[in-house]
Structure 1
Amino acid sequence: MARRVLVLVGLLVAGCASTGQVSLGEVREFADASARLGGYAELSRRYRDTYDRESPYLSPQAERVARDTDARRRAVFDDFVAIQKTLVLYMQTLSLLAGDGRYDLSGRIDDLGTGLKAMTDSGLQQRHVAAYTGMTRLLTRVITSRYQNRSVDTMVRDGNADVQTLIDAMIVLTRIYEKANENERKTVLGLFNAEIPMANRNTDRMLVTLAKVHLQNKTAEYKLIDRRYKLAQQGLTKVALGHQKMRENMDKLSSEETRRILAGYVHDLNLIRDALSAE
């Protein structure tokens, strides 16, 4: 009898361990897919470098205004990128904590930023700044924790509100990038559309041909970038929804329904990442 009881207890413990690993497996896969999403950093750099691309097409008066705008963009660029880096570090840490092996995250403390600046014309609001501060504190606490499974639970439960706010900040900023790109597109393509019809002399034929080729290339470039904005926003929305769903189901991550839902978000994020890479 005693031996049978021990066997049953052993099977029960093994079953619980297996269930825990399965549940954390979905957490790890979602965190990995979220961290690898991509797109935002590239679009942030494109936003920063707007003036470098559009300056050849600007009138002297418009260029003076554009130089001032360029200075403001470069002043906030580090903060814009810091938000993404912190969210990626959160997801990477969550993935590592949900893994099978032991972990030592002490070296990642140095990756945390020192804070953001809320500027009225940057798009960042005070709640975004507060969420960034809250996330860095949470990461510091979790990274120094010795309790792996408990840290996963802590991150998802305590971090969800800040995760949602930081993703909101990234979506807001991506829309600002998109608007800046639209203004750039109007400036650049508008110049060609206005000037090409005016060049109707025989001696302008070669110049017009080159201008038309350049116009085609720029039109294709802006069309491609427009799609990347949409993909980046879709990806960020998927990350927000997936993390919220994970937070709501922390007590039943091993259920078939929760695992299926998280797997669906992972699938969607991988498709979006592949589309961004292909372009």
Structure 2
Amino acid sequence: MKPFRFASLVLLCASLLLGGCASTGSVSLAEVREFADASAKLGGYAELSRRFRDTYEREQPYLSPAADRLARDNDAKRQAVYDDFVSIQKAVVLYMQTLSVLAGDGRFDLSGNLDDLGNGLKANAESGLERRHIAAYTGLTRLLTRVIASGYQNRSVETMVRDGDADVQTLLEAMISLTRLYYKTNENEKKTVLGIFDVELPMSNRNTDRMLVTLAKVHYISKAAEYKLVDRRYDLALQGLTKVALGHQKMRENLHNLQREEVRAMIANYGRDLRMIRDNLISG
């Protein structure tokens, strides 16, 4: 065989081989990209964080003077930790956005998002933030800074998942714990607000109180409906965060088998579930 014909044949085989790999990789990573996108856009946690922060604003009209003093102290504590609670979510969202970029065909500049991560977290015994959560946040933000600042050079989905999984899992665990804290705080608020009506309405039986009682009953019904809706949002947020954690764990466990059909189907199912939860959060 002549040298130039042999070289042409080698180039043709290499082209076919690389083309096949690129095609397979593109298809297999579509599910990773969709899962990462759905994880980044899940929602719920940020809204519930704001609701937690603004608890005093809602409950203040229903408080006695003595209860108001304690509530103001609790309000100051919630305001102090709010930024840290939101920073955790921002780090996880940026990680998922970065993972989506790595799993896609294009490259998008996410460097501007690094500025939103803040300067770090503070341990807080009352909120449940521990040193391991702070270490995980620091580790993940450093990873994101290296990957994004380098333009994703020498970085693949596999290495990103491998290097980020432990910190992502720790931060998702923190978000789940904080969502439960939000739920508990909301339950206390609900007891405070609705409890006043439960005590006062039966005692208001004079004819001169009819209009006031009617308005109070309408307000009670409205507040009870609000709390019922919010309770569902806590449930959906917890379901979503748990799905994100499980989906990422499964990717880590199947790091070298992301192209296998059953793994792709499994990741696709997690992405589908997250989109359904997000739709319910939006419609609810």
TM-score, structure 1 as length reference:
0.96
Conservation of the 8 A alpha-carbon contact between 1:97 and 1:149: no
8 Å CA contact retained: 1:98, 1:148? no
Aligned to 2:128: 123
Deviates more, 1:184-193 or 1:138-147: 138-147
Distance 1:103 1:200 in 2: 66
* Residue in structure 2 matched with residue 228 of structure 1 by the alignment: 233
**What is the rounded CA distance, in whole Å, between the counterparts of 2:179 and 2:112 in structure 1?**
30
Aligned residue pairs, count? 279
Partner of 1:102: 107
Alignment of 1:15-54 (within 5 A): 15-54=20-59
Whole-angstrom CA distance in 2 between matches of 1:75 and 1:153: 37
User: Structure 1's 182 and 97: CA in aligned 2 closer, same or farther, altered over 3 A?
Assistant: same
1:149, distance to aligned residue in structure 2 (A): 6.6
Q: In structure 2, the residue corresponding to 1:262 is in which secondary structure?
A: helix
Relative to structure 1, the CA distance from residue 106 to residue 66 in structure 2 (aligned partners, 3 Å threshold; closer, same or farther) is closer
1:99 to partner: Cα distance: 1.5
Matched, 1:254 2:259: yes
Q: What's the offset of the Cα at 1:8?
A: 3.9
- Does structure 1 residue 138 correspond to structure 2 residue 172? no
* Equivalent position SS for 2:126: coil
Q: Secondary structure at the match of 2:248?
A: helix
Structure 2 counterparts to residues 164-243 of structure 1, below 5 A: 164-243=169-248
- Residue 213 of structure 2 aligns to a residue whose secondary structure is helix
Matched, 1:76 2:105: no
> Percent identical across equivalent pairs?
72
- Mapped to 2, the partners of 1:87 and 1:229 lie a distance apart of 19
Match of 2:64 in 1: 59
Distance in 2 separating the partners of 1:243 and 1:148: 22
Distance 2:185 2:114 in 1: 34
> In 1, Cα distance between the equivalents of 2:186 and 2:117?
30
Quote how far apart the aligned CAs of 1:214 are.
Answer: 0.5
| Runs of 4 or more consecutive aligned structure 1 residues displaced over 3 Å after TM superposition | 1-9, 102-109, 146-149
* 1:88-147 alpha-carbon deviations (Å, 9 max, x no partner): 111111111222123444433323321000011122111111110111111011112345
CA contact 2:158–2:256 (8 Å) conserved in 1: no
Structure 1 pair 116–15 and aligned structure 2 pair: CA distance change class (3 A): same
| Greater CA drift, 6-15 or 123-132 | 6-15
Moved more, 192-201 or 4-13: 4-13
Q: How many angstroms does 1:48 deviate by?
A: 0.5
Paired residue type of 1:102: R
2:279 is the counterpart of 1:274: yes
Amino acid of the structure 2 residue aligned with 1:121: E
Deviation at 1:6, TM superposition (A): 4.7
Shift of 1:164: 0.3
User: What secondary structure is seen at the aligned counterpart in 2 of 1:123?
Assistant: coil
**1: distance between equivalents of 2:78 and 2:16?**
60
**Is the CA contact 1:97–1:148 (under 8 Å) kept in the aligned structure 2?**
no
How much has 1:153 moved relative to structure 2?
2.4
1:256: Cα distance to partner? 0.3
| TM-fit CA distance, 1:7 | 4.0
Q: Within 2, Cα distance between the matches of 1:32 and 1:133? A: 23
Where does residue 87 of structure 1 map in the other structure?
A: 92
Distance between the aligned counterparts of 2:196 and 2:175, measured in 1?
Answer: 32
Contact kept, 8 Å, 2:169 with 2:245, in 1: the verdict is yes
Shift of 1:148: 5.0
